[in-house]
Amino acid sequence: QVQLVESGGGLVQAGGSLRLSCAASANIFSINSMGWYRQAPGKQRHLVATIFSGGITNYADSVKGRFTISRDIAKNTMYLQMNNLKPEDTAVYYCNAWKSPNNYWGQGTQVTVSS
């Protein structure tokens, strides 16, 4: 069982920055992959960024060059640094962990970007 707790969401103006954190209850080095998803009102949840156990990362095209996913293994915490935020980034952001064979989700944190 892995519990995930997100923090760091909030209200920011377009062009601003936020850093999201996801604290895991397990040793994240033992987790196959972790990622950030987001869900805007009335829309499906979409993958934003992933970091695999070996450290490889990938990003949705819409956030490449603006968002950076990282992790601190000693703190069992994953981060999402979001720069140059746009109104279309407004959504609830969810932390995800895949620790085979189970998939875990955090409760979500709201990010609102005003124009």
pLDDT at residue 82, rounded to an integer: 98
pLDDT, tens digit, 9 for 90 and up, residues 29-39 = 889 999 999 99
CB 6 within 8 A of CB 70: no
User: What does the longest C-alpha to C-alpha distance in the chain come to?
Assistant: 41
Average pLDDT of the residues in 8-35: 95
Q: Which residues contact 57 (CB under 8 A, 6 or more apart)?
A: 49, 50, 51, 69
pLDDT at residue 105, rounded to an integer: 97
pLDDT at residue 81, rounded to an integer: 98
CB 38 within 8 A of CB 18: no
Average pLDDT of the residues in 40-47: 96
Cα 92 to Cα 20, 27, 54, 72, 108: the distances in Å are: 11, 25, 27, 23, 6
Dihedral of the alpha carbons of 37, 104, 25, 39, in degrees to the nearest 10: 20
Across the chain, what does the average pLDDT equal? 96
Token pair for 83: 């720069």
